[in-house]
Structure formats: structure tokens, C-alpha cells
Amino acid sequence: MRFRARPEPAPIPGLATVRAVRHTGVGVRGEPRLRLALTVEAGGRAFETETVLVVPLSELSLLRPGVVLPVRCTARRVELDLDRTERGIAAEAVVRWFAVPGEVRAGRPRVLLGLLVIRPDGSAFHTRTEQYLPATALGEVGVGRAVRVHYLPSAEREVVVSVLVSA
């Protein structure tokens, strides 16, 4: 009789907020290896974790406390989902509606956004997303405001919204 490993369930998409960034003192091909402390929200739950990441020097200034990054979570690990931000298509979106239902995690309110995303070719699509944003960023996502988003052509309904977060 052969025993087969149970297949791992599909990763759950989520968002991670960077709480702290520390240098490990190690570099790989001249690029620093950083330890990131993250607060992750995925699948209706929130938890804290850490990860180690080699960061290109050109992107070093982008990783700071308060930055929100997309992640994929499995039962065993959390991986940064940088496909959308690194290889994804950058676009503009107009906020059609937003709601703040009152749920707060780690001092950040949950924000539901209805977006009209304008593809680079001028065509558009509607989508809905949710994020936990610092209260200081709520003014950037008001109805009629333009926001930057990234999406993959294979999953364009799942967008990552980029907002300027002041600490």
C-alpha cells in the first residue's frame, strides 16, 4: 500500500503590512538581505510573522514600516506576492464607492473599495477590493479620487491598490 501526501490547498491571497525592517548583515550579490516583521490579513484572520528577503538596491527605499504588500498564505508559509507589483500592469483607477464597515485591526480600519480600473490601452473594468488602511490614508481613497493599482492580466479583478501612507 502506498501513502500519498495530501495536496496542499491553494494559497489564500492576503495583504501584509510592514511593521519593521531590519538588516540581517548578509548580502547576496551586493544586495542586502532584510528581515521584515509583518502583520498579515488573509482568509478573514490576522496574524504576525517575519520573513527574510533579498531586496534589490533600487527597491530598498520602498520597504519601510506602513507599506502594504500582497501575500499568498498556505498552512505552512507566507510568501510575498510581488508578481502584481513587480510584473503586474500598472494602471490608474477611479474610486466609485468606498465603505468603512467599522472593523479595525492593528489600529487600521477595514476599507471596501469599488474601483473602475483603466487599462493602459484605454479600456476599463470594474472590480472590488478590501484593505486595512491607516486612518491617515482614508482621504486618498474618497469617491472620485484616482489611485494607482497593479494587476496581472490573468487575474485582473484582483488588484493591489497603492496609497501613500504617512507614518
Cα separations (Å) of 14 from 30, 41, 76, 164?
30, 6, 15, 19
Neighbours of 32 (CB within 10 A): 16
Residue 2: how many other CB atoms lie within 10 Å? 3
Q: Which three cell numbers stand for residue 138?
A: 482614508
pLDDT of residue 114: 93
The per-residue pLDDT of the chain, averaged, comes to 79
Closest by Cα among 76, 86, 73, 71 to 132? 71
> Confidence band (pLDDT; 50, 70, 90) for 89?
confident
User: Is 79 in contact with 71 (CB distance < 8 Å)?
Assistant: yes
Residue 4: CB partners within 8 Å, gap ≥ 6?
Answer: none
Position 167 confidence tier, pLDDT thresholds 50, 70, 90: very low
Asked if pLDDT for residue 147 goes beyond 70, the answer is: yes
pLDDT of residue 124: 93
Is the confidence at residue 31, as pLDDT, over 80? yes
CB 163 within 8 A of CB 149: no
Mean pLDDT for 38-50 is 83
| Pairwise pLDDT comparison (4 vs 138), residue with the higher score | 138
The confidence score (pLDDT) of residue 87 equals 63
Q: Give the list of residues 6+ apart from residue 75 with CB closer than 8 angstroms, or none.
A: 8, 9
The pLDDT score that the predictor gives to residue 160 is 76
Separation CA 28–CA 40 (nearest Å): 26
Query: Whole-prediction pTM value?
Result: 0.55
Per the structure block, which three cell numbers stand in for 96? 466609485
Task: Report the percent of the chain where pLDDT is more than 90.
Answer: 11
Q: Which three cell numbers stand for residue 100?
A: 468603512
